[in-house]
A and B are shown apart, each in its own frame.
Chain A
Amino acid sequence: MAGFLQQLVEGLGAGAVYASLALALVLIYQFTGIVNFAQGEMAMFSTYIAWQFTVAGLPFWLALVLTLAVSFAGGMLIERIVIRPVEGAPELTVVIVTVGLFIFVNAAAGWIWTFLIKDFPNPFPGGAVEAGGLSVGYSTLGVLAVVAVVMGLLYLLFQHTKVGLGMRAVAANPDSARLVGIRVGWMLALGWGLAATVGAVSGILVAPLLFLEPNMMGGVLIYAFAAATLGGFDSPAGAVAGGLTVGVAETLAGAYVGFIGSDLKVGVPLAIILFVLLLRPQGLFGRAVVERV
């Protein structure tokens, strides 16, 4: 039993990381209907910026704040420069543009920082809390706490501020949002900025667990897609619930299903994506899109 609980906690820790990247995906999808394939690479790039700040001798938390600010601005710039020209274009065009962005950001990071792996400092102390035969690492607790804080801040932004209300109005009905005087273009840019910021958090959470290198987010992106698909691509709370579920499912499957082990774990999110799309395409918390003719 203790062993099972132990796996559960590990799964939640991993799931929180997936949840944060899934949250970034959902933020952009909600406002623009775009699935941003470059979300993971943008997060990786942000993590390199954080690394650069720490290498320059800044304390970790200051480096974090600066990185989030740079990521926010970078996300807005990407929307204005790369995405704006294809606004309203067919879905496939937009998908290709985000895939192009993926390749560009990945190559740019390799060009600037090389493909050699780098150590990324862990902001949380080593060691663990021991209780009732259970050992929960500080870094697991830290990751869960950070994701909870991000969730809480986003909730406050969307439910209790005027800008948040404006952003939700744009997501619900962009034409009407224009008619009440909202600058829709800026709200979309703001959405990309927020998503880039949340993505940066996930990159910074991932880097100490893996190593910092340009391809580090590739695997995480697949888990994040599974999380967002499971929770519903238009539901931020669903993305988080989906992320935690995917993390737990993956860990338990690796531990208890003999033939999966640690080698086939990456098959778990893919199986989740497949089954959700077959059985409930809108995800657990998503709204089914009904086209009225």
Chain B
Amino acid sequence: MSTDSFLTISDLSAGYGDARVLHGVNLSVGRGEICAILGPNGAGKTTLLRALSGAVWTRGSVRLDGAGLARRSPDAIARRGVAHVPEGRGTFMPLTVEENLRLGAFTRRGRGEVEADLDRIHGYFPVLKTRLRQVAGSLSGGEQQMLAIGRALMSRPRLLLLDEPSLGLAPLVTRELFRIVRTINEQERTTVVVVEQNAHLALDIAQQAHVLESGRIVLSGSADEIRADEQVAQSYLGYRV
């Protein structure tokens, strides 16, 4: 565990209606770190991210840089610097690429900064620059994922939540995407929590990793430790050590 814990989750339970999905999750993420959440389908990985961004009911505590986030509304949490790129990307399909990006900066003031950030996003994702006037619905899956991440970055997030960024993308596109996420993390010191089925990719860019099963953390450690764990290797990496 990092000494300087930026995101601290204590005894967090969460779910939908009567169904409790998370059962007392504890974990912490250091400032500027990438943290990977691994686990089988239905383990509660997506619910964990949704609990962090306020989209489901929660019990327990979530602290970002000391300030409580739990039980605030999603829009209030977003305004406190949490950017959630949901599963399925959540782009505004009928709106143009540029409008999608500008919506990322919706809660910010200062026009000049927003323009500068648009340039910054174009630097990470040059393909978006050529598509600014197109509606988001016309983009390919990979471009939409880039747009979703670009939109999240437009809010200058303190915490970036990525839910299955590789879903439905070709392997080459996925690799490129993860390379960019690592670049963003290195250049902007943005703390990242990434949920990912593709454990190899996630462990390659993460410093910390946690394995979630049936709504509980069953294993935590550095990315290298998790990679070396025999159980994980069998379940998620597809080979024996």
Contacts and interface: CB of A to CB of B under 8 A. Distances in A.
Contacts of A122: none
Given A166-B103, A181-B155, A173 B75 contact: no
B106 A175 contact: no
Chain A, interface SS category: helix
Interface string A177-214: 11111111000000000000000000000000000000
Contact of A169 (B83, B86, B92, B155): B92
B92 A176 contact: yes
Given A165-B99, A183-B75, A176 B106 contact: no
A175 B90 contact: yes
B93 A172 contact: yes
Contact of A182 (B75, B83, B151): B75
Nearest to B100: A169
Given A172-B93, A172-B95, A176-B91, A181 B79 contact: yes
A178 B155 CA distance: 13
B73 interface: yes
Contact of A165 (B53, B86, B102, B155): B102
Contacts, number: 67
A173 B93 contact: yes
B53 A179 contact: yes
B78 A179 contact: yes
Contact of A181 (B86, B92, B94, B106): B106
Contacts of A180: 78, 103-104, 106-107, 151, 155
Given A181-B106, A181-B155, A176 B75 contact: no
Interface in B108-123: none
Nearest to B78: A181
B6 to A, nearest CB: 20
Interface in B183-228: none
Contact of A162 (B83, B93, B106): B106
A162 B110 CA distance: 13
Contact of B84 (A179, A182, A184, A287): A179
A223 to B, nearest CB: 28
B94 A172 contact: yes
Contacts of B91: 173, 176
A74 B81 CA distance: 34
Contact of B90 (A173, A181, A184): A173
B74 interface: yes
B78 A168 contact: no
B106 A178 contact: no
Interface string A147-169: 00000000000000010011011
A169 B98 CA distance: 13
B55 interface: yes
A179 B102 CA distance: 13
Given A172-B93, A173-B93, A178 B103 contact: no
A176 B148 CA distance: 10
B94 A179 contact: no
Interface string B44-81: 00000000010100000000000000000111101100
A178 B75 CA distance: 5
Interface in B219-240: none
A168 B53 CA distance: 22
A173 B106 contact: no
Interface of B: 53, 55, 73-76, 78-79, 83-84, 86, 90-95, 99, 102-104, 106-107, 151, 155
Interface of A: 162, 165-166, 168-169, 172-173, 175-184, 287
